[in-house]
Homo-oligomer: A and B are copies of this chain.
Amino acid sequence: MNRKIIATLAATIFLLSACSDPTGEDTGTKTIVTSEKADTTTTTNNQLSDDYYKTMITNGNYQVSKTRGSTLGLNSNFNLKAFETGLMSLSQLHFNTEDYYFQEGQYIDSTTANTWLRRASKENPDGLNPEDNGKIEPNERNPYYLNSILEQDYMIKKDDKFTLGGISIGLSMNAIDYYQKVAFGADYETKISRDELLKQGKEMANKIVQRLRETQGIGDIPITVGIFEQSPKDSLAGGSFIAEAISEKGDTKVGEWKELNQEKVIFPLVDKTSNELTSFENFKSEVEYFFPNLSGVTAEASYTNDQLMKMKVTITTQFYGESEMIGFTQYVTEKAVTFLPPAIPIEITIESINGTEAFMARKAGETAFITHVFD
């Protein structure tokens, strides 16, 4: 859909909505309805897939995060999505999607998060990033190691009441700390080694767990911490979680760290060859051969322990008409079945200047793709 049209549409609707009661309730009976709802905590019945938790709904509203929007400060949208969904996946190691319900973080508020993210100083003793040492050269200054903190709450249901069952904390760490020597000046970069990043992240994890243990309402519930390494600003791949640990039984620090061998690479830009890259390149050639004009074809391949777990393909093409798009989608689906690695989940999006034109997806273990052409 055309961007301009969306904008006009949004403006029109907001205008209309402002004149009407957003709850859709008859204003005359509003008080009664509201009081009826006062103690209602429900969840979405609809669980999208085994990979998603059911979501908590309190009084018909979604409880937004106390640090809402804070992940928008990550290096890229790819990092944001990898960070949030990655922490949900990590959480499944300890909190299963059957018994636990998802709620956005309600214990660390914005003020606290900002205090923790700033540099340590006399005025800000709780800052987790190191003191300013007065240097400005990339290899001399103390970088910001920690970029963002994400809290997720996992609730359990007992006798129709929900109580906190677990907390997951994600620490988004900078592999590159982008900074300016003067305000609005040129961008400089301090590179941070993975060893240093892990060392810093692990120390911060213990400090955060200790502070959370003193936070009202948390008590001795399990707290897991994941260390996320951001990908650079210009990367087409999102970052990955590289280590995780859990603090159980009210411990004021986490237990043993488990290193996670996860990696995301972009095909065909990756420089090491593999069977998957060859498969992808054959697919790409076939797709590009369909039209007289060229399409751009790339994929984000996610590896765990050097095994391909998931592939997300993006095809960028020119839009000449709906019939072409339908024919192209049929063709791409067919070539995906033939050439792309079997058994793993695959997502394919066809994009044009107008936005998303078509979309195909296959779940793990399936052979057929679900296909949709937007019209």
Interface residues, chain A, CB within 8 Å of chain B?
1-2, 5-6, 8-10, 12-14, 16-17, 22-25, 44-48, 52, 54-55, 57, 60-62, 64-65, 68-69, 71-72, 76-78, 80-82, 84-85, 88, 102, 104, 152, 234, 236, 268-269, 281-282, 284-286, 288-292, 294, 296-298, 314, 316, 320-324, 326-331, 333-334, 337, 347, 349, 351, 354-356, 359, 361, 370-375
Contact = CB atoms under 8 A, between A and B. Distances in A.
A321 B356 contact: no
The count of identical subunits is 2
A322 B74 CA distance: 13
B290 A62 contact: yes
A287 B329 CA distance: 31
B81 A322 contact: yes
A361 to B, nearest CB: 6
A290 to B, nearest CB: 5
B22 A289 contact: yes
A69 B316 contact: no
Contact of A291 (B10, B61, B81, B354): B61
Given A152-B323, A321-B84, A54 B330 contact: yes
Given A61-B290, A71-B321, A1 B77 contact: yes
Contacts of A68: 320-321, 324
B9 A320 contact: no
Given A24-B284, A370-B370, 18 more contacts: A1-B349, A6-B351, A9-B316, A10-B296, A14-B294, A16-B268, A24-B289, A46-B333, A48-B330, A55-B327, A62-B324, A64-B292, A72-B321, A81-B375, A102-B323, A355-B355, A361-B372, A370-B372
